[in-house]
Structures are given as structure tokens and as C-alpha cells.
């Protein structure tokens, strides 16, 4: 009897072991597919690109598709329409949508520095006696009569442009013109063809203009040139509140993967990060441009993922001065820390 019992127990243990192995074996094939929208193929989304290449999404059981939308808040609209599961978007896009009644929740801070730079055509800079070493206040006053090119009305680049015009004491579309010039390559072409004097775009597009010899940097906000802008809501991981309630585990896994990417960027050298992202769509940029861009934004991705009151205050101040925000939000209205590790 005892032998039969031991034999039966052995067969049971073997069956359990085989069942557990069967459950674990197809884990990769059963990875949850999710879509995440972002404004463009940009260094603003470094943590996601690193998470993809380094396998952090896979470690969390996720198969992630990153979808560039072209900016203009389209990433937020795609999320609201249910076309994607997540959006990585700046605070300006989130707050603009929320003041119109949209329901959005930030579950992690993926970027807390304003990595938007201004590149001025060399001829326009020469005509005004501007160099990259010209003091910030003098450069600010010298923008009178220039034409700025931003991606489009309502975008972060447009709002930053409006803010700077106001800071200089000028009126937009009077002393300073600003036109919607599209993203990335279109903006670069507009600058090279002198349709605009100043390109306003996220890293590394301005660096590309400098690398090509077309421009010099007018304002390098990614490196903290503006003394009034420190922390900023550069990039939030957004979900619809009902999705956060229904898919809590998926949200937590996405947050963990992105923060692993943030930690890699923060802890590794710019050279290591640039090497990794050569394998992503960002590899289309020259390696020197990528390296310069990564060096500029290296400190912009907090590995803890927390959002600060200071970042919200600065973002709202910039939007109000640009005439883009008519109400004030509290931190807990827009953000929940419950999904952080």
C-alpha cells in the first residue's frame, strides 16, 4: 500500500510539474499586446525606446507598439478615442484636453525637463549680432521681427514660443510672427529655405539644424538655459480612468518597464544610450546628433516616476502666459501615484 501511495504521489507531483511548465512555456507567445501613442519619433520618448531594445517590455509580459501621431495633441485624441491603450504626452496636451472636459489620468512622470530648443538660422543670428554665448536676456529681446516655426497651434512647441514672446514683452503675430511648419524634417526644410528664422522643436531636431551648419542654438532649454524653467511636465504616461480601474496590472507593468528605461538613461553614459537607440527609428539621426541630444536630455527622465507640484506649477504658468489655460488644476486631479513600483 505504501509503495502504491508513494507511486501515486510521485505521479501527481509529476503531473503538477508538467502542468506548471505548460503554463510557463508559452508566456512570451501570450504577451499582452498594447498600443502607446506619442507625438513624434523623438528623444522625448527615450525610456520607451530603451525599454523596447533592452527587453524591458518583454520582461513585463508586454508586446508594445509605439505609434507616432504627428503632434498637435493627436496622441491624446487617439487615447480618448480608444484607438490606443496609453499615450505619452506633455502636460500641456493633457491639461488642454482636460480643461475641455476630457477624462485623463497620468500614472507616471516619464519626463520632467522642458527638452524644447530654439535654433536660429545663421544669417538671422548674424543680422542681430547673436551668438550662442550672447546672454539669455539679450537674446530674448533680439527676437523682435523674427518668424518662428513651430509644429502647430496648441502643441508644446507653439506654447513655448508664445511664452517666450510674452516673456520678451512682445505680442505674437505683431512683433514676432509664428507659423505652423510641421514636425521634424518639414521644420528643418522651412528653416533651410528661410521660410522661418527660428525653428522650435524637441531634441534632437534643433541639434540636427546645428549639425548641418544651417543654424546656431538660440535657446537651449534642455540644458536649463532659461533660469525660470526648471521642472516641467515634459512627458506623462496617460490612461483613461476607466482603463486604469479595469487594467490595473497592465498599467503597473507598463509603468515598471518605462521606469527601467528611465533608469538606464539616467545611470548609463550618453554613448551607451545612443548606441542602444541606433536600433530604433531614432537611428535615422546622425550618431553625433543623437549623442548631443542624449547628453542634453540625460537628466530629464526621473527613474522614480513621481510628478512634483513644482512641475505642475511651471507648466500651468507657461500655459497661462501663452493664453492656453483658463483654469487651474491640482496635482491629484491629474495624477495618481498608485501605479508606481
Please, are residues 221 and 229 in contact by the beta-carbon 8 Å criterion? yes
Please, are residues 216 and 120 in contact by the beta-carbon 8 Å criterion? yes
* Local structure of 183: helix, strand or coil: coil
The pair phi, psi for residue 176, each rounded to 5°, is: -130, 130
Alpha carbons 328 and 79: distance in angstroms, whole number: 23
Q: What is the pLDDT of residue 26?
A: 39
Alpha carbons 121 and 181: distance in angstroms, whole number: 15
Per-residue pLDDT of the chain (341 residues; tens, 9 = 90+): 444 444 554 454 444 444 444 444 334 458 999 999 998 888 999 999 999 999 999 999 999 999 999 877 899 999 999 999 999 999 989 999 999 999 999 999 999 989 899 999 999 999 999 999 999 999 999 999 999 999 888 778 898 999 999 999 999 999 999 999 987 889 999 999 999 999 999 888 999 999 999 999 999 998 878 878 888 999 999 999 999 999 999 999 999 999 999 999 999 999 999 999 999 999 988 888 999 899 989 989 999 999 999 999 999 998 888 788 999 999 999 999 999 99
Estimate the crossing angle of helix 46-53 against helix 248-267, to 10 degrees. Answer: 100
Q: What is the pLDDT of residue 323?
A: 82
Buried b (16+ CB within 10 A) or exposed e, 266-276: eebebeebbbb
| Same fold for the pair 32-112+233-308 and 116-223 | yes
Q: How far from the centroid of its chain's Cα atoms is residue 85's Cα?
A: 16
116-223: CATH class: alpha beta
Alpha carbons 199 and 186: distance in angstroms, whole number: 10
Q: How many Cβ atoms from other residues are within 10 Å of residue 12's Cβ?
A: 10
Alpha carbons 41 and 70: distance in angstroms, whole number: 9
> Is domain 32-112+233-308 given the CATH code 3.40.190.10 in the classification?
yes
For residue 107, the surrounding DSSP H or E stretch is strand 105-113
What residue segments make up the domains of the chain, in order of their start? 32-112+233-308, 116-223
Q: What is the pLDDT of residue 42?
A: 87
Amino acid at each position: 500500500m505504501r509503495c502504491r501511495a508513494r507511486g501515486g504521489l510521485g505521479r501527481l507531483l509529476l503531473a503538477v510539474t508538467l502542468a506548471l511548465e505548460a503554463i510557463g512555456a508559452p508566456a512570451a507567445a501570450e504577451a499582452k499586446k498594447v498600443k502607446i501613442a506619442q507625438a513624434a519619433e523623438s528623444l522625448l520618448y527615450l525610456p520607451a525606446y530603451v525599454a523596447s531594445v533592452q527587453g524591458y517590455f518583454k520582461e513585463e509580459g508586454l508586446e508594445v507598439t509605439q505609434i507616432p501621431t504627428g503632434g498637435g495633441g493627436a496622441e491624446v485624441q487617439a487615447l480618448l478615442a480608444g484607438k490606443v491603450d496609453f499615450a505619452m504626452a506633455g502636460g500641456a496636451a493633457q491639461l488642454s484636453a482636460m480643461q475641455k472636459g476630457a477624462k485623463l489620468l497620468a500614472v507616471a512622470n516619464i519626463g520632467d525637463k522642458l527638452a524644447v530648443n530654439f535654433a536660429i538660422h545663421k544669417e538671422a543670428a548674424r543680422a542681430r549680432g547673436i551668438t550662442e554665448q550672447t546672454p539669455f536676456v539679450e537674446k530674448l529681446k533680439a527676437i523682435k521681427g523674427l518668424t518662428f516655426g513651430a509644429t502647430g497651434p496648441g502643441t508644446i512647441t507653439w506654447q513655448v514660443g508664445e511664452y517666450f514672446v510674452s516673456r520678451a514683452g512682445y505680442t505674437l503675430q505683431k512683433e514676432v510672427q509664428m507659423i505652423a511648419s510641421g514636425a521634424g524634417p518639414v521644420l528643418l526644410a522651412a528653416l533651410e529655405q528661410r521660410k522661418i528664422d527660428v525653428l522650435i522643436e524637441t531634441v534632437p531636431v534643433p541639434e540636427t539644424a546645428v549639425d548641418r551648419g544651417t543654424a546656431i542654438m538660440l535657446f537651449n532649454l534642455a540644458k536649463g538655459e532659461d533660469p525660470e524653467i526648471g521642472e516641467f511636465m515634459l512627458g506623462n504616461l496617460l490612461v483613461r480612468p476607466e482603463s486604469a480601474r479595469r487594467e490595473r496590472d497592465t498599467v503597473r507593468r507598463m509603468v515598471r518597464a518605462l521606469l527601467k528605461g528611465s533608469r538606464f538613461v539616467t545611470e548609463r553614459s550618453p554613448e551607451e544610450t545612443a548606441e542602444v537607440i541606433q536600433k530604433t527609428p531614432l537611428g535615422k539621426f546622425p550618431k553625433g546628433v543623437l549623442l548631443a541630444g542624449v547628453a542634453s536630455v540625460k537628466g530629464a527622465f526621473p527613474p522614480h516616476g513621481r510628478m512634483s507640484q513644482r512641475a505642475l506649477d511651471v507648466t500651468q504658468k507657461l500655459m497661462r502666459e501663452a493664453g492656453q489655460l483658463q483654469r487651474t488644476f491640482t496635482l491629484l486631479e491629474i495624477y495618481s501615484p498608485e501605479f508606481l513600483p
